[in-house]
Structures are given as C-alpha cells and as structure tokens.
Amino acid sequence: MPPLLLFLSLLSLLLPHASSLDYCVADLSLPPTPSGFPCKSPSKLTSDDFYFTGLGVAGNTSNIIKAAVTPAFSPQFPAVNGLGLSLARLDVLPGGVIPLHTHPAGNEALVMIQGTLCAGFVDTANNVFLQTLKKGDVMVFPQGLLHFQINSGGIPALAFVTFSSPTPGLQITSIALFGSNFPSKLIEGTTFLSDAEVKRLKGILGGSG
C-alpha cells in the first residue's frame, strides 16, 4: 500500500476513537459510577447535548431561606459529566441566605451579576474570610470548606457559580442537623446546643428524632 493511503486508512481507524475521548456526555439511563456517569454513544450526540438553557430563569425563592440554587450539574446538564466542571445560578431575595454549607467534591468560583451578597468561608484552621460582593466581583470558595452567602442589599441578588467538578455535592449544615432524623440528644451532645434550641430548629427545618 502506498504510504499516503496507509496513512489515511490508519487515520480513519483512529478518528472515531479520538473523538470519543474528547468528551463523555452522561448517559442518564445508566447508574452513575464513582467517576461519573457512563458516556452516551458519540454517534447519538448532537449540538443540543452540549447546550443548556435552564440558567436563564430565576429559581423559586418562595421558601424559608428566600433563595434558590438552580444547578447545571451532570443530572441537569449531561455534557459536563466528562469535563470536570459544572455551574449553577443563585437567586437570593433581600434578607435571604444560602445557609452555611459545603461542596465536598469541588472548588467554587462565584461571579456577581446583580445586587449585593455578603459571602464568606471558614478554613480548616478556623480563619474566617468575609467579603461584600457587588456586580462584577468574584470570590472563590475552596473545596470542602464551610461557606455561605447572605443578601445584604435591598434588591434581589443574582450570581452565577462554577465548580471544578460535574458533581460538586452540596451539604447544608443546618439541614443536616435539624432537617434530618439525627437524634436530638446526640445533636446536643455533639454540638453543645441546648435541648430547647435543637427542638426549636427542628420545628423550623422539619427534622425528627
């Protein structure tokens, strides 16, 4: 075989494999694995698989925190599955809060679009880092650290966040303690909170036990 033909036939063998390594759009019909969802067959993908429109609309803030997080993680936006990143939209009404929480699996960067957020995190040496964020400001929240955002202005706050993981995870401290069936006596023993305060918070956040 002439060298050019040999080269082209080798290239044609390689190309389908090369493109299948470029991305791994999640096949949500299959169960996730520790390294993410299995990939949708590349031959079934269209440009719509790499497109997501859900962040254009404010989330529902009619709730106790007066805030909404609208995620574009793998389950909502399967294209991020293989890319090591994801996004979300934050809507926080005046007086609203994204309560103290962590993302166990990803760093976070927040970009302010509208309004004012007081944001902060606590590192593992218990240093507290606080900022007031206005339009165009960016703050990062390192992986796994407790952090929060509170609307400290008079208008609804809008921010977009991005994570260094397609599935950063979200654990809200107050919900884990007072919105679960964590036995009250153990919460009191492990947090030094009073029985009355634990029962009050469980009443607000729906916990039992």
Ligand X SMILES: *[C@@H]1O[C@H](CO)[C@@H](O)[C@H](O)[C@H]1NC(C)=O
Annotated binding site for Mn(2+): 101, 103, 108, 147
> How far apart are CB 160 and ligand X at their closest, in Å?
21
Among residues 91 and 108, whose Cβ is nearest to ligand X?
A: 91
Residues that bind ligand X (CB under 6 A): 60, 62
46 or 62, CB closer to ligand X?
62
* Closer Cβ to ligand X, 61 or 132, answer by number: 61
Residue 62 beta carbon to ligand X: minimum distance, rounded to whole angstroms: 4
Pick 41 or 60: Cβ nearer ligand X:
60
Could you write out the DSSP letters of every residue in 66-88?
SEEEEEESTTT-GGGGGTT-EEE
- Residue number of the CB closest to ligand X reads 60
Which residues make up each annotated binding site for oxalate?
A: 103, 108
**Known binding residues:** 101, 103, 108, 147
Nearer to ligand X, 62 or 181 (CB): 62
Query: Rounded CA gap, 138 and 155, in Å?
Result: 19
**CB contact at 8 A, 200 and 107:** no
Q: Which pairs with CB-CB distance under 8 Å and at least 24 residues apart come from 33-36?
A: 36/74, 36/81, 36/82, 36/166, 36/167
Taking the C-alpha atoms of residue 26 and residue 82, their distance in angstroms, rounded to an integer, is 8
Q: How far is the CB of 91 from ligand X (least distance, A)?
A: 12
Report how far residue 26's alpha carbon sits from residue 41's, in angstroms, rounded to the nearest whole number: 9
Least distance from ligand X to the Cβ atom of residue 60, Å: 4
With beta carbons less than 8 A apart as the criterion, state whether 182 and 156 touch: no
CB 209 within 8 A of CB 184: yes
Helices of type H across the chain: 3-20, 173-178, 184-191, 195-205
Residue 180, phi then psi, degrees to nearest 5: -120, -170
As measured in angstroms, the least distance from the Cβ of 63 to ligand X is 6
